[in-house]
Structure 1
Amino acid sequence: MENIIANRIKNARILKCLSQQNIADELGITKQMVSKYEKGEAVPTSSRFLKLSKLFGLKMDYFFSSFQIELGEINFRKKSTFSIRKQNSLKEEIKIRLENYIWIEETLSIDYSFKNIIENIKINSLDDIQKTVLKLRNDWNIGIDPIHNIIQLLEDKEIKVIELYNVDEKFDGLATYVNNKYPVIVVNGDFPVERKRFTLLHELGHLLLNLPDCETKEEEVFCNKFASEFLFPADIVIKEFGGKRRNITFPELINAQKKYGISIRAIIYRLVDTGILSKNKHISFYKRLNLNPSLKREVDNSRFETPEKSNRFEQLVYRALSQENISISKASSLLNERIANLKEISLL
């Protein structure tokens, strides 16, 4: 138990980007005593546990839980300015969220066996992405229709989605496996809905695509192509906008944005990628944006009306509570909700 408590205290400190001296100052003890806590050589008193709980913003049961997960490789390659301290803090937040997620599933005897149905399709060039996306869409029975809720689709396909709020704006998203079994996509929940949808599918590309050995920059290009093709398939782009054109009206772009949940910038890219617009038009589009701030704001407006929210974990907690698999205090801890509020809900 001492080792469990020691690891939890250290991980909570990393979560909050605090030093041992910061903890010592808050508790009114020496830095050496904090070090002993983290090495399992000493255990905080009850009063100090309460202070730690308040300082870290974590429930008391966090420090005593033996249920732990193993995160797969996490690479914050997109944002080189995302500091190591912030990366480690984010990893700990993800671990807490996923420990709770996996724990509640196991409590309900839910077991999934995810299958990557495109893992044997070797991607050698960007041209291979289109047929791979088409196979995935067909196997997932969505054809080339607009997708109204990406998160719901992913969760229906046994991919866990975690949204993080109030995190560093430099964080977009990531994909990994938990315990070498559960696929997980984490996304910045504060993003506009179109950006969130694109990021989710970009990370799905990292999760599923069998890419060649390549530099990080090239890997990002492959995954951007995957996300674009998944959101707005080439055949549909041509159907919506026709053949090669010299000009596109703004209302056409807005209508496509509302229908497919893809940003206007990404639509312009798709129009160039499918040959409907020339590369020169792409260049002139961005020149206009740089010279016209009001036009830039209008282009960047979010207009897709279907919210992208993950509520599966919350649903599982309420299910476990109603079936008496967990206590109301445990549900309160998992949902970070007051017990009184849950008592009112449980009466319905």
Structure 2
Amino acid sequence: MLLASEALAAAYREAAMEKFNHHMLTLARDSRGLTQVELSMQLGIMQGTLSKYETGLQEPPAEVVRALSEALGYPQAFFYEIGRPYGLPPFHYRRRKKLSAKALARIVAEMNIRRMHLAKLLISFSWKTNAFIPEIDPDEYRGRGKGALTVDDAARSLREMWMLPSGPIDNMVQLIEDNGGVVIPCDFGSDLIDAMSQRIEGLPVLFFVNVNAPTDRLRLTLAHELGHMVLHTITVKSDEEMEDEADAFAGAFLLPADEIRPQLRRFDLRQLANLKRYWKVSMAALAVRADRLMLITPYQSKMFWIEMGKLGYRKREPNEPPKEHPNLLRQIISFHLKKLGYSVPEMAKLLHLRSAEFQEMYRAEILGDPYQGSQPKLRLVK
């Protein structure tokens, strides 16, 4: 009887593994930037039929799965992956509303695919750290003088928890990875989003970053996303308030008030350029910090932004700090290829990708290339 029960359980498990996952169909279509209408026309079927496949109302026959695999460029096993996609946290709303629905769907799909890859890769890769990225509930904390916790208090507390010395943070990417996060380099295909972050049960805190962003902007963006992960995974507020708090956290974390206040009493481009070299943040970030600390007048702020616009510095400033490269993902890929003996085709099979796309997606990690030259792509555009 025991053997029969075990056999039955094994049969159920095998059947579950062979069940078509309609979520993965939507994910695949979105990742290629296709609408239901466009994909149904490629397949030569009615949109209503495709819609029923995507909602799980009907299961596509084997010949349709083969056609989907060909049209979307994923192995058939991709559509039988177990799991479900996750949406974006609410604090990304203000940024994502500037994007088209198709562009947003593609970015979210790519993030989910990357997350699924990492979950598989971490099964064999032993990675432990005593540090972590905390979640702060303002109702349980008190700031200086036992008053309500401010954003500056939260940033100061995190610097103290991580035992950071005074002065600039040497490398934001490394700091995140040293303290329990994974920085995943991406090409979002848009400059409307520099980074996104997710805290999902069973995984490290994930930071998806735009590899094409200047380093000074990347550092500020990572600190901004860190603020969301610290402040907004327990307490959810309005979109505007969360974005403002994350901006304030980034400034306070990178430019502690006690240290930067005396340095910003002189406020001109020459001084800001000097401070940029030291603190490794943009002149724009320094100006915003000066404004938050009420060290400059509204007129000074206005004239600063006018001058930055005339010089063409609003989009990209000169004297960019040295690049900061994610290292953990490279280590994970290298571990599988070199230590565990996976071949590239085997890695592609593990992640339900075709070999060419695996090599394109993880080119820098495979070669140990610190993201120079052509940038790693999240997708294979058809």
- TM-score bracket relative to the smaller structure: 0.7 to 0.9
SS of 1:337's equivalent in the other structure is helix
Quote how far apart the aligned CAs of 1:178 are: 1.8
Give percent identity, aligned residues only: 21
Partner AA of 1:189 in structure 2: V
Q: Within 5 A, what are the aligned runs for 1:90-169? A: 90-110=107-127, 114=132, 116=134, 118-119=136-137, 120-121=140-141, 128-169=150-191
* 1:302/1:159 CA distance change after superposition, 3 Å: farther
Find the counterpart in structure 2 of residue 74 from structure 1: 89
Partner AA of 1:85 in structure 2: K
Provide the TM-score with structure 1 as the length reference.
0.80
Matched length: 332
Quote how far apart the aligned CAs of 1:31 are: 4.3
SS of 2:191's equivalent in the other structure is coil
* 1:69/1:11 CA distance change after superposition, 3 Å: closer
SS of 1:130's equivalent in the other structure is helix
Comparing 224-233 with 28-37, greater Cα deviation is found at 28-37
The 1-side partners of 2:292 and 2:66 are apart by 62
Quote how far apart the aligned CAs of 1:189 are: 2.7
Quote how far apart the aligned CAs of 1:262 are: 1.1
Quote how far apart the aligned CAs of 1:7 are: 3.2
The 2-side partners of 1:126 and 1:194 are apart by 31
Specify every segment of 5 or more residues in structure 2 that has no aligned partner in the other structure, as ranges: 1-16, 352-356, 369-382
The 2-side partners of 1:264 and 1:126 are apart by 31
Residue 257 (structure 2) aligned to one of 234, 238, 242: 234
Provide the TM-score with structure 2 as the length reference.
0.74
SS of 2:103's equivalent in the other structure is helix
Comparing 178-187 with 108-117, greater Cα deviation is found at 108-117
The 1-side partners of 2:312 and 2:94 are apart by 24
The 1-side partners of 2:343 and 2:100 are apart by 39
Quote how far apart the aligned CAs of 1:70 are: 5.7
The 2-side partners of 1:204 and 1:104 are apart by 24
Q: Within 5 A, what are the aligned runs for 1:262-281? A: 262-281=281-300
The 1-side partners of 2:246 and 2:133 are apart by 19
SS of 1:77's equivalent in the other structure is helix
The 2-side partners of 1:3 and 1:324 are apart by 29
Per-residue CA deviations over 1:272-300 (Å, capped at 9, x if unaligned) read 3334433331122224445xx2x233894
Structure 1 contact 161–185 (Cα < 8 Å) conserved: yes
The 1-side partners of 2:237 and 2:27 are apart by 34
Find the counterpart in structure 1 of residue 321 from structure 2: 305
The 1-side partners of 2:293 and 2:118 are apart by 41
Find the counterpart in structure 2 of residue 85 from structure 1: 102
Partner AA of 1:331 in structure 2: M
Quote how far apart the aligned CAs of 1:240 are: 3.3
Structure 2 contact 65–76 (Cα < 8 Å) conserved: no
Structure 1 contact 159–182 (Cα < 8 Å) conserved: yes
* 1:283/1:20 CA distance change after superposition, 3 Å: closer
Q: Say what the alpha-carbon RMSD is for the aligned residues.
A: 3.5
SS of 2:94's equivalent in the other structure is coil
* 1:227/1:322 CA distance change after superposition, 3 Å: same
* 1:9/1:112 CA distance change after superposition, 3 Å: farther
The 1-side partners of 2:148 and 2:30 are apart by 39
The 2-side partners of 1:250 and 1:20 are apart by 51
The 2-side partners of 1:345 and 1:191 are apart by 22
Find the counterpart in structure 2 of residue 256 from structure 1: 275
Find the counterpart in structure 2 of residue 23 from structure 1: 39
Per-residue CA deviations over 1:312-345 (Å, capped at 9, x if unaligned) read 222201112222264432335658218xx99x97
